[in-house]
Chain A
Amino acid sequence: MGLLTGRIERHLISHKDITKDKPIIEMPAPDRIYIPLVCGMATDFDILVKAGDHVDIGTMIARRKSMDVPLYATVSGTVVGTEKRMHASRRPQNHIVIENDHKDTFVPIVDTSNVDECSREELFERMKLIGLMGMGGSGFPTYMKYTKTDNIDTILINGVECEPYITSDHVTMKLHTKALFDGLKLMMRIADAQNGIIAIKEGKVELQKILEREVFNHPNIDIAIVKDVYPMGWERHLIRTVTEKLYDKLPSEVGIIVNNATTAIALSYGLREGKPVTHRLVTVSGDIANPCNVHVRVGTPVHDILEYCDIHDEGDFYLISGGPMMGLSLRNDLFVISSYMNAITIKRVPEDESAPCMRCGYCTLHCPQNLQPVRIMNAEKLMDTDLLRKLDVESCINCGFCSFICPSRIEVTGYIQMAKRRLQIEARKQQTAQKRRESQKKEVKS
C-alpha cells in the first residue's frame, strides 16, 4: 500500500473450495482427438505425418518452425488429417485429427537412461525434446527460459494459482509432490542454480504440510508462503514479493527463472519416463451445479468433457477457456484442451448493472502495473493516440483487475485492449508509410 501508488494487490473471493477436495474424475480418451498446431501465440508448424499414418503415444506429429517445439500424439491410432476448427484463443486454427485405437501403445520420446549422471547440456537437449510449454496458461516453450543460464541462481516454482475457481495446480501438486521436487531439482541442474523456491498461497494448509514434510529431504529448496491476493501468480509480482527484487523485462535479469508447478511435474515425468504431456488436469468450475476436476487426454474437445462430467445447467453462460480473470469467453464448446489449459470456467451472464464512471480511481489504485485505467479509457473514447502513448498503455498485462474492481461495472480492461490495438494499428500504418516513403526515395535516386 503506497501513498502515491495504491494497493496493487487484493484478496479475491476465490471459490476454490467447490472443487479443491472433490475426487478427480478420470475421463477415458475420446475416439478422436485434435492436437492444435498452436504454441502460445505462434502457429508456424511443420506437419510431420499424413493421413493414414499410424501413430503411437509419443510419435512426433508436428514441429514448430521457429523455436523448435515438437508436438506429440497423445493417443495411439491413425491420423485422419488436419482440420481447421475453433481454438481456445478465439481464432480458427489447424488441428491434427487422430482416430484413437484405444490401445495406448507408447514410444518413449527421449533417452531416459542415466538422467542423474548425464551432463547439463545433455539434460537441456532432452528437455527441449519433450516440448514442454508453460503449463500455467501461457504456452511459452519452457526450454527457452534455459537457453542462457549464466547468472541464474534461483528457480522459482509458481504454485500460486491466483485466479479464482482454478484448483488444478493445487491438486496436481498434492498428488505429485515427489515429481514436483524432482522436476525442480532437474531444472536447477539444467540452469546450474543453487536455490529452489516453491511458492504457494497461504491458507492451503494441507498442501503446505505435505510440501513441508518433503522439503526436509532437500536442503537447498525452500517453501515460500505468499499472501492470498490477486495477481500474486504474475511473475513480476511474485518475484517482487518473494525475493524483493525488481527487474525490467525478464526475471533472468535478477538471476531467477520462474516455472509453473505443473510444468516441473511434467518435466520430471518427461525426463524419467520419456512421456510427453498426454494428460492434463482441468478444473471445470463456475456457476454450475457440479463443478469438478477432471483428468483428460490432451486434445479432447471441451464438448466431450462437459458431456462426460454431466454439466447441463439452464440459462445463459459465458464459457471461458482459463480462469474468469484472464480467460477468453468462447462462442461454443468445440475447442480442445491443450497441454497448457488449466481450466474451463462457466460463468452465468449477469444482468446489466453498469453505471456511469464516477472517477473513483479504484482502478488506478489497484492496477498492478500502476497504470491509470480510467484515463486510458477516456483517452480511448476520444481516440487520442498521443495521450494513450503517454499513459503507457503498452505495459498493461491484461490482468483484468481494473474491470474486476470497478464498482460501476464498466469493462475497463476491454477499453484498454482496444487502446492497445489502436496503438498497434497506428504503429503498423506508420511503418508502411515509412517504407513507402523510402522506396519512393530510392526510385527517385535510381
Chain B
Amino acid sequence: MNYLIKPASPSYKRRRRTRDIMKELLIGLYVLAVYAVGFQLFVFGWQRALRVLAIFVLATLTSLATEVIWGRMHESDFQKIMEKQFPLITPIIYAFTLPATTPFYIVMLGAFLATFFGKLVYGGFGQNIFNPALVGRVIIHLSFPTAMKPTVMIDGMTSATPASALASANWFYNHGYVFNVMDIVKGTYGGAIVETCVIPIIIVAICLSIRQIYDLRLSLSFLGTVAVIALFMGLVMGVNPVTNMAIHLCLGGLIFGAFFMASDPVTTPTSPFGKILFGIGMGFMTMLIRTKANYPEGVLISILIFNMLVPLFDGITMGRTDRNLIRRYILLVAAVALATIIICIIVSGFEPVAAFSMIGGVLS
C-alpha cells in the first residue's frame, strides 16, 4: 500500500458531481426540444418543424465548434471540454429563446457570440458574469431587430405574436386583445420557440427540482413576484386579474427564463436569502420593462441586468444565514409589496411629477 497525504479533510465525497447535474439538466432540455419540434410538426406542419430542429442543431454545432477551437488554442482536449465546460447547455437554452422564423445565419452568429463573448472570454464555465445564452440572444436581438421580430399566422394573415400584441396593449389584458388565454397556455399561436411549450417546461422543471438539480427558491420567487404584480395590476386596471396574471406568466418566455436562465447558478447569488431577493428583483424589473418600456423581451433584459448585480446581492447577505431571520422575512415581503405598488402606480398612469405640481398649485 502506498499512502498519500491529503492536506485537508474530508476524504469522502458524495456521488453526484457537477457533470451529473449538467447531464440531467441537458436531458431535461433535450426532452423539451423534442417536444418543441413535435409540437411544431403537429400544429404548423413539417416545414416549420424541420426549421426548428435545424435551429437547435445549428446552434449546438456552432457553439461546440467555438468551444473546441478555443480549447485547441488553450491546450484542452475534447474530453476535458465536455467534462468541465459543459458546452451543450448554452446553445440549447439560446435556441429556445429564438423565434421559429429566425434566419439560420443569425442563429449561428448568435450561438457563436453566446459561447465566445458570454462564456469563453471570461475564462469558461463558472467564471462568466452574464448568462451566456442571453448575451448571444440580446446581441442579435439588438443587431437584427426586424429579422428577429417573431410573427404568427392567424387566419392566414401574418400578425404580431401574443407577446408583442400584449406589449402594444400596454401589457394588460383587455377586451381588444384577440388571443385566447387557453391557447396561449397551450402555445398554439407560436411565437418564440419557448412560448409554445409552457406546460412541458413546468413539468420538466418540477422533475429537475425533485432530482435536486437546481434550487427552486429563485425561480419561484421570480414567478411569484410577477404573478402578484400582475394580479394587483389587473385589479387596479379593472381587467380580470386572474387572466391578466396567466397571460403575464405565460408570455415572453417568462417561465422558461425563470426556470432555466435566471436560475443558472453561475450567475446568481449563493445564499438562499440572496436567491429569493434576487428573484423578486428580477420579477420587478421584468414588469417594469414590460409596462414602461413596452418591450416584449423584458424577461431577457431583466435577467441580464440582474446578472450584473450579483455582487451587490451577495453583499447584502453577509455572515451566517441563520441570523436576523425575522428581519429578513420582513424585508422579502416588503420588497414584493413595494414592487407591486410601484408597478401599479405606473400602470394607472399616475404621474408623480404632475401630482406634486398639483399639490404645489393647491398650496400656492
Main secondary structure of the interface of A (DSSP, over half): loop
Mark interface residues in B308-334 (1 if CB within 8 Å of A CB, else 0).
Answer: 000000100111111101001100000
Closest to B273 in A: A4
Docked-complex contact A414 and B8, CB < 8 angstroms: yes
Docked-complex contact A5 and B272, CB < 8 angstroms: yes
* Contact of B16 with A by CB under 8 A: yes
| A407 proximity list for chain B (CB < 8 A) | 14, 16-18, 20-21
New contact pairs (17) apart from A358-B126, A398-B9, A408-B126, CB-CB < 8 Å = A2-B325, A4-B272, A6-B321, A164-B12, A318-B3, A324-B10, A329-B5, A347-B11, A355-B17, A355-B126, A356-B124, A356-B125, A372-B270, A375-B271, A403-B13, A407-B20, A413-B9
* Contact of B266 with A by CB under 8 A: yes
Size class of the B contact interface (CB-based, 8 Å):
35 or more
Mark interface residues in A307-336 (1 if CB within 8 Å of B CB, else 0).
Answer: 000011111111110001111111111000
Q: Within residues 1 to 16 of chain A, which ones have a CB less than 8 A from any CB in chain B?
A: 2-6, 12-13
Please, could you name 30 A-B residue pairs with CB atoms under 8 Å apart, sorted by A? A4-B276, A6-B272, A312-B1, A319-B3, A324-B12, A327-B9, A329-B4, A329-B11, A350-B13, A356-B84, A356-B126, A359-B266, A359-B267, A359-B270, A361-B275, A364-B270, A364-B272, A370-B322, A372-B320, A375-B271, A400-B10, A400-B12, A403-B10, A404-B12, A404-B13, A405-B14, A407-B14, A407-B18, A408-B18, A411-B8
Docked-complex contact A414 and B7, CB < 8 angstroms: yes
Docked-complex contact A374 and B270, CB < 8 angstroms: yes
Docked-complex contact A3 and B1, CB < 8 angstroms: no
Q: Within residues 227 to 282 of chain B, which ones have a CB less than 8 A from any CB in chain A?
A: 265-273, 275-276
| B20 proximity list for chain A (CB < 8 A) | 407
* Contact of B2 with A by CB under 8 A: yes
* Contact of A417 with B by CB under 8 A: yes
| B12 proximity list for chain A (CB < 8 A) | 12, 164, 324-325, 347, 400, 404
Main secondary structure of the interface of B (DSSP, over half): loop
* Contact of A441 with B by CB under 8 A: no
Mark interface residues in B201-222 (1 if CB within 8 Å of A CB, else 0).
Answer: 0000000000000110100000
* Contact of A345 with B by CB under 8 A: yes
Closest to A407 in B: B18
* Contact of A114 with B by CB under 8 A: no
| B321 proximity list for chain A (CB < 8 A) | 4-6, 364, 370-372
| A6 proximity list for chain B (CB < 8 A) | 272, 321
The answer, among A331, A361, A365, for a CB contact under 8 Å with B5, is: A331
Docked-complex contact B319 and A392, CB < 8 angstroms: yes
* Contact of A210 with B by CB under 8 A: no
Docked-complex contact B271 and A364, CB < 8 angstroms: yes
Docked-complex contact A331 and B17, CB < 8 angstroms: no
